[in-house]
Amino acid sequence: MNAATVSKAVLLGACALALTACNLMMPSPMYTSPRQDPGFRLLSTVRLEVKESEDRGAIRGAVLDGDSVANTYKYNVVLNQYFGPDLAAYRVDELGYASFYSLQEMYANNLDAAVADNIGGFLCNDNAGEIDRVNFGIGTTEVQISTMESAAQSLLSGAKLGGVAWSATGAFRSLAYANGDLAVGSHNPIGGAMTQVGPGPFAGGIPAIVSTFQTLTDSGGGFWGQNYIEFGKFGFSQAGAFSWFVARRVDNVRGIKEERLVSLPDAGGAPITSPHRPLGTAGAYIIAYDEKRAPAHQVLVLDGGLGTRTKLRIVGDDYVYLGERDLMIDAMPTPHALFLVMTRHRLDDETAELYLNLYAYPVSGL
């Protein structure tokens, strides 16, 4: 091998090295943890690699996890990935470590209205009109829903339970409805005696709400009936002295769904409605949105009158509002609204990686 051959080989090798080491593809602004606006604090990040042979890897729902420590910010996230008949779920701890488990689909479908339990796991509707306590790694047990149903009937004769919610302070509220009337009761603890919130039921509340629907309307003889609404997510704010819930009508034939956000002031009066879509409660406010539009999602902060107090911007491919928890700031427990923000990066035909980032925003800043 003479010098010319060696020099050619070296040159060829250098070219090959240059090509393999060069940046052939354009940079991609897919952040693992997107920068959020000032005020947001990144608490944890977890990377999940998912197979996408059938379903696209995405967040089906998420809910904060209860624990013996009330102010943990562990959370449960359910992906749109089937694991047998169940769905893939992860419980993510404060350090960002994810533990896998599977979750029955009925719970996964109702995570929108699920709330953290104060024991461990979360409370979720089971499609059978009951609320179950879902414990990670333990299984599911029914909450004493019958007691709550009975308690609801104490507020309104023949009432049914429209929703139940649990606050960070451990107080429960439930929504009862019967014959077009609404009533909010409080319980502490769950299953205990129910106390009427406010001066009395919202008599004729449901017809008043129905009248605000814009598309799926009727005059009493229609498909839904004059006083018919479906009850969606329910929440309340003790600090704001109001309860709220989602009133929904669905036309499965036409594939149309219309929702109204309803605020029920503790002080009584007519229900207040709005087209905004609630995500949860933070302090004295409702966290809501109108539409999800990546990469900059606009989050609305509504007061009890459903007026827009301020707007936040969440940057990411998707996000979920988890609820309110205290963070230790300067050794002081400080209420924060927790958002789970997802970014997504496709690796190949069947694999994607999801980055789940838990951000906290001080409630005092809302």
Q: Is 4 a binder of other proteins (CB under 8 A)?
A: no
Who's near 22: CB < 8 A, 6+ residues apart?
A: none
Binding mask 256-295 for other proteins (x = CB under 8 A): -------------------------------------xxx
| Residue of 100, 313, 329, 333 interacting with other proteins (CB under 8 A) | 313
Give me the long-range contacts of 119-122 (CB less than 8 A, separation at least 24).
Answer: 119/66, 119/68, 120/65, 120/66, 120/67, 120/68, 121/65, 121/66, 121/76, 122/63, 122/64, 122/65, 122/66, 122/76
> Between residues 27 and 221, which has the closer beta carbon with respect to other proteins?
27
| Residue of 29, 85, 221, 255 interacting with other proteins (CB under 8 A) | 29
| Residue of 114, 115, 315, 366 interacting with other proteins (CB under 8 A) | 315
Torsion sign across C-alpha atoms 53, 358, 40, 303: positive
CB atoms near residue 291 (< 10 Å): 7
Q: Is 332 a binder of other proteins (CB under 8 A)?
A: no
Residues numbered 156 to 195 that lie near other proteins (CB under 8 A) are: none
Q: Is 311 a binder of other proteins (CB under 8 A)?
A: no
| Residue of 2, 23, 53, 68 interacting with other proteins (CB under 8 A) | 23
CA distance 285 to 364: 11
Q: Which amino acid is at 287?
A: I
- Buried (b) or exposed (e) across 224-255, using 16+ Cβ within 10 A? beebebebbbbbbbbbbebbbbbbbbeeeeee
Q: Is 344 a binder of other proteins (CB under 8 A)?
A: yes
Q: Is 21 a binder of other proteins (CB under 8 A)?
A: yes
Residues numbered 46 to 85 that lie near other proteins (CB under 8 A) are: 56
Q: Is 353 a binder of other proteins (CB under 8 A)?
A: yes
Residue numbers of the site for other proteins (CB under 8 A)?
Answer: 18, 21-33, 35-36, 41-42, 45, 56, 293-296, 298, 313, 315, 317, 343-346, 349, 352-353, 355
